Amino acid sequence: MDFELTDDQLELQRTVRDVLAQECPPDLVRAVTEGGAADELWDTLVSLDWPGLTIATEHGGTGYSWVELAIVLEEFGRAVAPGPFLATVTQFASAVRAVATPHQASHWLPLVASGAVTGAFAVDEGAGTWLLDGVSAAATCDGEDLVLAGTKRYVLDGATADEIAVVVRLDAQLRVVVVPRSALGVDAFAPIDATSVHADLDLDGCRVPVDRLLGEGDATEAISAAIDEALVAISVSTVGTCQRILELDVEYAKERRQFDVPIGSFQAVKHKLADMYRDVERARALSYFAALCLAEGDSRAAVAASMAKAAAGECQQRCTQDGLQIFGGIGYTWEHDLHLYLRRAKVGELTFGGASQHRQRVARLTLAGGLA
């Protein structure tokens, strides 16, 4: 295998980093954290055609692979970029692409690519595992309409997205229905990270036209594949955030002096930073491997996605905990930017199943022969 970015991919990485340095500085993240909006950032991303990065050119996108998407997501995580990108591109669009008929895809994907529609993906109903056997929300046919019942929980951008891909049971089958957010009851969280706001959704009595039911027949496998994409996206974004925490810590450990020497000369500090570095590199490698499996349609994509999510979870745990400890008192203030990164790093672990759940999935898939 060739496991390093190509020159073109490195160029994309530089471009995204430069744009975000300009358009999404820590001041913007702080403003959002303190109640502001980031609409201009989204407008900029749309003007750069980034929402359609991996959408096929026939649907108005750029047609890049999942590796290019991973590069963008890592930079978004590094900058703690707020806005609808993650949920729209890596959850809503993934679900639509995996499940929709070609005709439906040609309706929805151009809307995503052009930035006309933002989206979300509603799966979990309270178990916090995002496992499909926990889905009991139901759709029933009533003439030309579908009538929904049940609740969805922990939906990223559930309070703000235009359209929500909702996983429901219809008869005995798992299906996805695209529901306008305005048709749902929405209960937004007071979030630990204001750059990624989750919400609970009340589906009861919601009525949508039947043409919003995606695909034909049971979509369990396709939904699982879409969830795997969401896992990889969260993982690589978390890697970016943790990379930034590591950089801030290293910088601080070189500058901050106590006992007349930089605290980075103490082995107690060095070894923490070395472990953070190892965990970031490990999680990055596994995240890009998963992205590469998605890009090439490799059969290891599912186990790779869970390895990435588990590794990102372990990485964020170390980087948030030791990352704050190394900063000492100054890191414990609201004024310091560190907490912006710590908050984002933790959010990823709390959704789509935590590290332990995914380690167990990796083990089960491996015992069943999933990773040759």
One-letter identity of residue 252: Y
- Whole-angstrom CA distances from 215 to 41, 107, 224 are 33, 13, 14
Identify which of residues 3 and 334 has a Cβ nearer to other proteins in the complex. Answer: 3
**Cβ at position 371, least distance to other proteins in Å:** 7
d(CA 8, CA 227): 28
**Cβ at position 65, least distance to other proteins in Å:** 9
Instruction: Give the pair of three-digit tokens for residue 223.
Output: 């939904």
The alpha carbons of the chain give a radius of gyration, in whole angstroms, of 21
Are the beta carbons of 179 and 117 closer than 8 angstroms? no
β-strands 119-122, 163-170: how paired? parallel
Identify which of residues 288 and 341 has a Cβ nearer to other proteins in the complex. Answer: 288
d(CA 328, CA 218): 53
Identify which of residues 113 and 307 has a Cβ nearer to other proteins in the complex. Answer: 307
Which residues have a Cβ under 8 Å from the Cβ of 123 and sit 6 or more positions away? Answer: 130, 132, 135, 152, 167, 223, 227
**Cβ at position 16, least distance to other proteins in Å:** 16
Are the beta carbons of 155 and 120 closer than 8 angstroms? yes
**Cβ at position 357, least distance to other proteins in Å:** 9
Identify which of residues 30 and 256 has a Cβ nearer to other proteins in the complex. Answer: 256
Are the beta carbons of 167 and 135 closer than 8 angstroms? yes
**Cβ at position 69, least distance to other proteins in Å:** 12
**Cβ at position 239, least distance to other proteins in Å:** 12
What are the residues binding other proteins (CB under 8 A)?
1-6, 9, 67, 250, 253-254, 261-262, 264-265, 267, 269-271, 273-275, 277-278, 281-282, 285-286, 288-289, 292-293, 295-296, 298, 304, 306-307, 310-311, 314, 356, 358-364, 366-367, 371
- List the beta bridge partners of residue 135: none
**Cβ at position 140, least distance to other proteins in Å:** 36
Identify which of residues 49 and 314 has a Cβ nearer to other proteins in the complex. Answer: 314
Identify which of residues 207 and 278 has a Cβ nearer to other proteins in the complex. Answer: 278
Chain-centre distance for alpha carbon 21: 20
CA atoms within 13 A on the CB side of 41: 26
Identify which of residues 94 and 235 has a Cβ nearer to other proteins in the complex. Answer: 235
If one counts every other C-beta atom within 10 angstroms of the C-beta of residue 58, the result is 12
